[in-house]
Structure 1
Amino acid sequence: MVAPLEFWFEFGSTYSYVGALRIEEECRAAGVPLVWKPFLLGPLFTAQLGIKDSPFNANPVRGRYMWRDLERLCAKHGLPWRRPSVFPRGTVLASRVACAGEHQPWLGDFIRAVFRANFAEDRDISQSVVIAELLRGLGVEAEPVLAAAVTEESKARLRASTDQAAALGIFGAPNCVTRGELFFGQDRIADAIAWALDDGRA
């Protein structure tokens, strides 16, 4: 029996960008159901590391490696890439929209559009006007979705998702979770899909 695969991602995460643009196609090809799981890294970094910034900014040596690594990865996978002029950008609104759009047919396309806007077009995804343009570009009426995203229900869902990420032992992004196993990093997608397909593992 094939298990669903949860893809835990953060819109401000560079490696989530690479994973998010690949994972739906790879899951579809393998016949593995995909569940999008947006969450916020900021609260986890504060609780786990005591910082209020990206570890890539806090550690410039690590940051320099990451930016060059992203160039290589995007070239490898044929993904558009432009280093954002602001990093990390605020992702709360986009994440709330993703929560509000759960089970909507446009959700995957919206997620990819937000990532491309941030990491290929250098657009400010924290702004509602940008999110509205992305939704309209998908043929989605933006105003009702944005209104739903700022309700207490959507806010609570994003907080609960972030709390669940912490409870799962998530410490970065992206992550795949399937059959009770956590696979950290966009380079573990194939391993996670294989695990989802095989229920005979110990």
Structure 2
Amino acid sequence: MTRSIEFWFEFGSTYSYLTAMRIEDAAAARGVAVHWRPFLLGPVFTAQGWDTSPFNIYKAKGEYMWRDMARRATRYGLPFRRLPESGPGAFPQNGLMAARMALIGLNEGWGEDFTRKVYSAEFAHGKDIADAGLLERLAVMAGAGPDVLARAQAQSNKDRLKANVEEAFRLGIFGAPSFIVNGELYWGDDRLEDALDAAVA
């Protein structure tokens, strides 16, 4: 039986950054294959009656998250920059186009590198990942062709992302990062090791 884990991530998610930058090494150490699954948290939040991240709605929770992110990034040896509360690049950032491009890249072999580059631009350097020009440059650096933006906007690709969101609902996913192992849901960067342990059990 193939040992595998599904990694569900959202580009606006702080904790997904931590996972994306370390999951391949952690999984390889256990002989586990990783299936990267981009989706959108916006529809998930809307279904719960929220119009933004709960880290913005509940201020104490948000302040804790930023401090926790700084601690965990230091623990993993990752650079980290807190995003502004308003204006371009404010938290949570719009990851729609990045997710669409990642879907193409994951089919073509450059999606994982692209995903890490986007997260690094966002949470290490404070860049606005809604900037299509930035995303195109990162995709080309990762190995995409020059037509990647147009292909990302194709209706068939939009439908693929919509299907991912619908599957996330079906699986009971309510946040990111999430991991699915043998039908079991694990939520949060701090549950990555638990999920990998389950994959080899």
| TM-score tier (shorter) | over 0.9
* Aligned match for 1:98, one of 80, 98, 102: 102
Contact 2:9 2:16 in 1 (8 A): yes
Supply the AA of the counterpart residue of 1:10: E
> What is the aligned partner in structure 2 of residue 182 from structure 1?
185
> What is the aligned partner in structure 2 of residue 151 from structure 1?
154
Contact 2:114 2:138 in 1 (8 A): yes
- So what's the TM-score if we normalise by structure 2? 0.94
Contact 1:3 1:178 in 2 (8 A): no
> What is the aligned partner in structure 1 of residue 87 from structure 2?
none
* Aligned match for 1:134, one of 132, 138, 148: 138
Structure 1 runs of 4+ with >6 Å offset: none
CA distance in 1, matches of 2:140, 2:115: 14
Give the drift of 1:28: 1.5
Contact 2:103 2:111 in 1 (8 A): no
CA distance in 2, matches of 1:152, 1:187: 36
CA distance in 1, matches of 2:157, 2:13: 21
Supply the AA of the counterpart residue of 1:187: D
Contact 2:3 2:31 in 1 (8 A): no
Give the drift of 1:82: 0.8
> What is the aligned partner in structure 2 of residue 114 from structure 1?
118
CA distance in 1, matches of 2:106, 2:141: 18
- So what's the TM-score if we normalise by structure 1? 0.94
SS in 2 for 1:30: coil
SS in 2 for 1:8: strand
> What is the aligned partner in structure 2 of residue 74 from structure 1?
73
CA distance in 2, matches of 1:139, 1:109: 9
Q: Which runs of 5+ in 1 are unaligned?
A: none
Q: Deviations over 1:49-94 (max 9, x none)?
A: 2011010001101000000000000000000111122101111000
Q: Which runs of 5+ in 2 are unaligned?
A: 85-89
Q: Deviations over 1:151-171 (max 9, x none)?
A: 001110111101111111111
Percentage of pairs with the same residue = 46
CA distance in 1, matches of 2:57, 2:91: 12
Give the drift of 1:197: 1.0
Supply the AA of the counterpart residue of 2:112: G
Give the drift of 1:138: 2.5
Q: Tell me, yes or no, if structure 1 residue 56 matches structure 2 residue 59.
A: no
Give the drift of 1:103: 2.8
Supply the AA of the counterpart residue of 1:28: A
> What is the aligned partner in structure 2 of residue 19 from structure 1?
19
